[in-house]
Amino acid sequence: MSFRLKTILGIALIELTIMGILIGINQFALGGSATTQLYQRAEATARVFSNAVADAVIATDLATLDATIGTAVTSEELTYLRIRNPDGIVLSEGGAADSLAVPFQRDYSYETATSDHLIDIDLPVIVEGVTYGWIELGLSTLSVEQEIAQAFRLNVIVALIGMSLVAIFGYGLGSILTRQLHWLRQGARAVTAGDLGCQIRVSGRDELADTARCFNEMARTLAQDRAVLQDQRNELLAKKERVEVIVHCMTHIARGKDLVDVPDVARDDEIGDMARATVVFQEAMQAVEQARIEQQRLISAFGQLDEQVSIFDTNGMALFLNEAFKSFNAEILAELPDQFSLQDFLEKGHDMGAFQGIDEDRDTWVREQLQRKNGSPQELKQGGQHVLLTVQSAVDGIGVVRSAQDITQLRHSEHQLIQASKMATLGEMATGIAHELNQPLGVIRMAASNCVKRIERDKFDAEYFKTKLQRMGEQTERASQIINHMRVFGRKADGVKEPFDLRASLEEMSTLSRAQLQTLDIGLKVNIPDESAMVMGEKVIFEQVLLNLVSNARDAIEAKGEGKGVIHVDATFDTDRGHCIQVRDSGGGIPEDILDKLFEPFFTTKEPGKGTGLGLSISFGTIEEMGGQISACNDSEGACFSIELPPLTEAEAA
């Protein structure tokens, strides 16, 4: 169905609908008005006739009634007329015989009268409230029906004429509208056939004309774009050939062939970028090959190291184990499958009892080992009396590298050095300790001498002797405490960590140090809280750390040589940083340029022969093993060394 036909039919359908509605409204209005008027006229006729024959009905004047009826039925509309008495007896009637023969049935509206084309009306003859009879008449509806039919025919004729005119004008309008569409269709077919440069006629300034102009613009754009695409296609084909050459070069490089000369490197386009990327790829492949060679060398070097080296991938699975690792851990490896993880190794070693000195349960200890701080060293006792210094480092792209060095001999030498240092410290304090012991011994000698004199004079006083003996006991206890401190301090460390009280260690250190410092006119002021503070570590070695710090402070004050000096030892427990201890002196401080070197092994500011340079280094390691930290700085009078230690945990106490 063409657009023109659709336009005509659409307009005709609209016109038909409108005319149908108008005809319906017109017929409804006309029919309603005519039928209503006819029914009202029938009722009026009955009333008029009732008034006219009232006297004749009362008098039963049949002749008058017949004459009146004969005159009335001469009307075209009045079909029949009948008069009955109150008993229903016909007094007179006239009109169409066929209508009179039909039993009377009153019509109360026009609609009930259409079956016989008569409006049947009856009306009583009433005079002064008394009914003397009934008037029955039939009024024909044919005239009204004919009038309505004639009006309908005229409406239909008008509608047909209107629809014909609409069809004619619609045809003309459709022709005008479809003419531009016809040109558009021809142009679209031309574009479909490949003629992108096709241009159609444009007539008018309406929407269809705008559409036609847009079509022409679209066709021009398509033609231009096709030309551009064709040029790009040709360019891409040329680039494709160059890309194939470069891909061939990349394949050659990827297969590890000899170096190739990559073409088109100087081009300033995508091909040039690809060529330069290929050069970079070739250099990267060379670097990878060189790295592979270096890796082989590194693995070979790791294999010859006495130090244990093991490498685990990002999933924790073993990648490389050198011969030292395999030899030292042969018993553990024998119980593991060929493919195992670092966690498997640690769990199996723990289950076999290969690792000693572990207080935590297996899962906790293994988890701590796997989560160790990157690059932090940790000592581990393994295989009887062996002490291993393990370092675990995460390497991007590889996983975890774990090394272990046997430092058993080093730790043995270190303990010997600590013991020698303690003996040297005791030697340095010998004079002061002897002086400290002389005081109670002198008191004891004096008291004993007085008691002997009393006995020689036969002056026995029990209370006097009791007082003297009690004083001798007190001084003996004082001397015993000094000797016990020296004995405990001088004993050899056994390497076993256990809980101890910081407060007790500080008091014992101050007892040993004060005697020596008094002989040098150096004061020792100790400020310690009354409550205890428990930590985990080796008590003897920790006290050596404190004595080292006090000895260094003493040497600094003596080197300054400006009269009486003072050393402060202050402690605060259970702070947000743990248990804190400070050792301060009035020795003038430490040069700023060597503060960061104080804890390095063999570094010393003392004259040759007066220090090994290991005291602070060993102190640093001791505090670190206890989980704490030690630092140095200068204050207004001299140096200040600070120690921070973690409090004893419930697990350690258990």
DSSP for 507-565 reads HHHHHHHHHHHHHTTEEEEEE--SS--EEEE-HHHHHHHHHHHHHHHHHHHHHH-SS-E
Q: What is the mean pLDDT of residues 181-186?
A: 72
pLDDT at position 572 is: 93
Find, among 382, 492, 516, the residue nearest to 436 by Cα.
Answer: 516
Residues found in the chain: 654
Q: What's the Cα-to-Cα distance from 506 to each of 514, 526, 652, rounded to whole Å? A: 12, 8, 21
- Least-confidence region, from 131-140, 457-466, 593-602: 457-466
Q: Higher pLDDT residue, 34 or 126? A: 126
Q: Where are the alpha helices (DSSP H) in 255-389?
A: 270-304, 323-328, 330-334, 342-352, 362-370
* Distance in angstroms between the alpha carbons of the first and the last residue of the chain: 100
Find, among 127, 97, 99, 113, the residue nearest to 42 by Cα.
Answer: 113
DSSP for 137-204 reads EEEE-HHHHHHHHHHHHHHHHHHHHHHHHHHHHHHHHHHHHHHHHHHHHHHHHHHHTT-TT------S
pLDDT at position 529 is: 92
pLDDT at position 561 is: 77
Residue 240 has pLDDT above 60, yes or no: yes
Q: What is the mean pLDDT of residues 253-282?
A: 77
Q: Contact, 570 vs 581, CB < 8 A?
A: yes
Q: What is the mean pLDDT of residues 382-390?
A: 69
Highest mean pLDDT among 409-413, 445-449, 633-637 belongs to 633-637
At 70-111, the pLDDT tens digits run 877 777 777 788 888 888 888 888 887 777 888 887 877 767
- Looking from the CA of 276 toward its CB, the CA atoms found within 13 Å total 9
Residue 558 has pLDDT above 80, yes or no: yes
What confidence tier does 409 reach under pLDDT thresholds 50, 70, 90?
low
Question: Residue 115: which residues within 8 A CB-CB, separation 6 or more?
Answer: none
Residue 343 has pLDDT above 80, yes or no: yes
Q: Which two tokens stand for residue 250?
A: 């990349």
pLDDT at position 581 is: 94
Residue 305 has pLDDT above 70, yes or no: no
Lookup result for tokens 């084909």: 237
- Give CA–CA dist 120/106, Å, rounded: 5
- Least-confidence region, from 61-75, 176-190, 368-382: 176-190
Residue 423 has pLDDT above 60, yes or no: no
What confidence tier does 573 reach under pLDDT thresholds 50, 70, 90?
very high
- Least-confidence region, from 382-386, 394-398, 408-412, 417-421: 417-421
Query: 309 forms bridges with which residues in the sheet?
Result: 403
- Least-confidence region, from 7-16, 279-288, 313-322, 427-436: 427-436
Name the percent of the chain lying above pLDDT 90: 6
pLDDT at position 582 is: 93
Q: Which two tokens stand for residue 592?
A: 């700023």
Q: What is the mean pLDDT of residues 171-198?
A: 72
pLDDT at position 89 is: 85
- Give CA–CA dist 593/370, Å, rounded: 38
What confidence tier does 568 reach under pLDDT thresholds 50, 70, 90?
very high
Highest mean pLDDT among 52-56, 501-505, 599-603 belongs to 501-505
What confidence tier does 119 reach under pLDDT thresholds 50, 70, 90?
confident
pLDDT at position 640 is: 92
Residue 610 has pLDDT above 70, yes or no: no
pLDDT at position 626 is: 86
pLDDT at position 527 is: 92
pLDDT at position 580 is: 94
Q: What is the mean pLDDT of residues 36-60?
A: 78
What confidence tier does 427 reach under pLDDT thresholds 50, 70, 90?
low
pLDDT at position 367 is: 86
pLDDT at position 583 is: 93
- Ordered structural domains, the chain, with CATH: 3-152 (3.30.450.20), 276-406 (3.30.450.20), 497-653 (3.30.565.10)
What confidence tier does 649 reach under pLDDT thresholds 50, 70, 90?
confident
- Give CA–CA dist 639/590, Å, rounded: 6
Residue 188 has pLDDT above 60, yes or no: yes
pLDDT at position 129 is: 80
Q: Higher pLDDT residue, 16 or 505? A: 505
